[in-house]
Structure 1
Amino acid sequence: MNKKPEMRSGLDRLRHSIIYEGVFLFLTVLILKDILNQPVAHIGSFGIIMSLMAMIWNFFYNCAFDHVLIFFKHPLYPRGFKLRVCHSVSFEVGFMLASVPFTMIWMRFSFIQALTMDIVFTMAALTYTLIFNYAYDVIFPVPPAVPD
């Protein structure tokens, strides 16, 4: 008897994205408004759009990541530190392809300014992502595999 791979449901992924982005948006606006000396509304709007972009990317990226693991017959869970690092870094690199051009337009930054901000922000996001995903796995564990 074969077991189905242990994958999170679409609703669980949606909950993950909403909680992740909500907490991250709050922290981002709280910190960036002072660092960039910008109004909360401008930073908040920027953060909401980036958050929506990230949520869409997050959903599709995580589904694809799981399918790649399944294709290579790698267990989905538990996810050790090395796999979490790989997951987080590859997510952020992919997201930067959209976030740097958007940052240039919204913040009226040069490419170098937008790239610098994105790299610094990404380093902070990587740390947050590692901590958040570890905590999420502990708080919302994956249900056991179901036999076929």
Structure 2
Amino acid sequence: MRTTKDRIRHTLGFEIIGLIIFAPLASWIFGFELHLMGIMAVVGSIIATLWNYVYNLLFDHAMLKFRGDVRKTIPQRVFHALLFEGGLLLLFMPMIAWYLSITLWEAFMMDIAMATFYLVYAFVYNLVYDKVFPIPHPTRQVPG
């Protein structure tokens, strides 16, 4: 299982790189000024960072309980990313509607587009992260 230090490195790297890519791209695609998208992205990043830590901790504990290992197969990575983004959608959508003075439907559509971006980004980021910082094989203590 990953250490707290590793989880913090993972989360901060994910959010910082995501912000650098997302804010300018969202400004261009959605037609809002860069500073509005930047502020929304930072607030979303804070929400996502807290959710990321809690979610991944819970997911890893569930993986250990049901599989005895936290290393994920490709289908498990897809499920992991979809479930993460679904939870984030519910947490972030009302804030988007309020901040940008748009309807909940418009916020939902924007959030779906953002979730799609982050879904792909999360998959790639986590795959690369696990290659750069591999999960150590678990050591089992032999009763003695």
Please give the TM-score of this superposition, normalised by the length of structure 1.
0.90
Q: How many residues align?
A: 141
Counterpart for residue 24 of structure 2: 30
The Cα shift of 1:25 comes to 0.6
SS in 1 for 2:76: helix
Counterpart for residue 137 of structure 1: 130
Counterpart for residue 80 of structure 2: 87
CA distance in 1, matches of 2:54, 2:25: 28
Question: Which structure shows the bigger proportion of residues in helix conformation?
Answer: 2
Please give the TM-score of this superposition, normalised by the length of structure 2.
0.92
CA distance in 2, matches of 1:104, 1:11: 35
Counterpart for residue 20 of structure 1: 14
Moved more, 135-144 or 30-39: 30-39
Cα RMSD between the aligned structures?
1.2
Counterpart for residue 91 of structure 2: 98
- TM-superposition CA deviations, 1:1-22 (whole Å, max 9, x none): xxxxxx1011111111111111
Q: What is the 5 A alignment of 1:1-148?
A: 7-77=1-71, 79-148=72-141
Counterpart for residue 4 of structure 1: none
CA distance in 2, matches of 1:73, 1:129: 22
Structure 1 gap ranges (5+): 1-6
CA distance in 2, matches of 1:34, 1:131: 22
Amino acid at match of 1:146: T
SS in 2 for 1:72: helix
* Structure 1 runs, 4 residues or longer, greater than 4 Å off: none
